[in-house]
A and B are shown apart, each in its own frame.
Chain A
Amino acid sequence: MLLIPCPLCGSRPEAEFSGGAVSGHVRPGDEPPASEAAWSLYLFGDKPVSGARREYWCHAHGCGQWFLLTRDTETGDILSAERLPAPPMEGAGS
Chain B
Amino acid sequence: MALAKFAGTRRRLAAGLTMQQPAWRNPDPKARYDAVIIGGGGHGLAAAFYLAKIHRLRHTAVLVRGWIGETGWQLPVVYGRGPDLKDTVGLHHIATTHYAGLAGELGFDPGTGTRGVLDIVEDGVGAKTQRYAAELYRLAGGAATKLNHEATLAKAGLLKSPDASERRRFDAVHYPDGGIADPERLIWAYARAADALGVDVVQNCDVNSFVVEGGKVAGLETSRGEITTPVVAIAAESHAADMAALAGFMLPLRARTINAIATEPFSPILDPVLVSRSAGITACQVPDGRIVAWGPPGDFASNSPWGSGRQTERLLSEAARLVPGLGGASATRRWTAPIDLTPDGQPIIGRAPLDGVFLNCGWGAEGYAALPASGISFAELLGRASINDVIAPFAPGRFAAGASLHPAMTPTALTATGAPCF
How near does chain A come to B20, taking the closest CB pair, in angstroms?
35
- In the assembled complex, the CB of A20 is this many whole angstroms from the nearest CB of chain B, namely 3
Write the chain A residue with the least CB distance to B257.
A73
Residue from B252, B253, B304, B400 in contact with A76 in the complex, judged by beta carbons closer than 8 Å: B304
Say yes or no: B250 contacts A22, CB within 8 Å.
Answer: no
Interface string of A55-91 (1 = CB under 8 A from B): 1000000000000000011111000000000000000
Bound CA span A72–B306, Å: 12
Specify which chain A residues have a CB less than 8 angstroms from the CB of B308 in the assembled complex: 2, 14
Q: Are B303 and A48 in contact (CB under 8 A)?
A: yes
Chain B interface residue count, Cβ-Cβ cutoff 8 angstroms: 25
Decide yes or no whether B399 CB sits under 8 A from chain A.
yes
B310 near A1 with CB under 8 A, answer yes
Question: Which of A50, A53, A55 has its CB near the most chain B CB atoms (within 10 A)?
Answer: A50
- Is B241 a contact partner of A14 (Cβ separation < 8 A)? no
Chain A residues within an 8 Å CB radius of B343: 43-44
- Inter-chain contacts of B215 with A (CB < 8 A): none
Q: Is A41 a contact partner of B250 (Cβ separation < 8 A)?
A: yes
Report the Cα distance A66→B104, complex, angstroms. Answer: 57
Asked if residues A40 and B254 are in contact (CB atoms below 8 Å), the reply is no
What 0/1 pattern do residues 383 to 411 of B give for CB contact below 8 A with A?
Answer: 00000000000000001100000000000
Determine whether the beta carbon of B309 is less than 8 Å from that of A47: no
B151 close to A (CB within 8 Å): no
Asked whether B301 lies within 8 Å of A46 as measured between CB atoms, the reply is yes
Which of A1, A46, A47 is most buried by chain B, counting CB atoms within 10 A of its CB?
A47
Residues of A within 8 A of B282 (CB): none
Q: A15-B310, A20-B299, A48-B254 are in contact. Are A73 and B399 (CB under 8 A)?
A: no
Contact B313 A76 (CB under 8 A): no
A28 at the binding interface (Cβ < 8 Å): no
Instruction: A34 to B301: give the CA distance in the assembly, Å.
Output: 27
Give which listed residue, A37, A47, A74, contacts B400 with CB less than 8 A: A37
Q: Which of B240-258 contact A (CB under 8 A)?
A: 241, 245, 250-255
From residue B389, how far is it (CB to closest CB) to chain A in Å? Answer: 25
Q: Could you name 20 residue pairs across A and B whose Cβ atoms are closer than 8 Å?
A: A1-B313, A2-B306, A2-B308, A20-B301, A22-B301, A40-B400, A41-B250, A43-B252, A43-B343, A44-B250, A44-B252, A44-B400, A46-B301, A47-B245, A47-B251, A49-B301, A50-B255, A55-B301, A72-B304, A73-B302
Instruction: Write the residues of chain B forming the contact surface with A, with a CB cutoff of 8 angstroms.
Output: 238, 241, 245, 250-255, 299-304, 306, 308-310, 312-313, 340, 343, 399-400
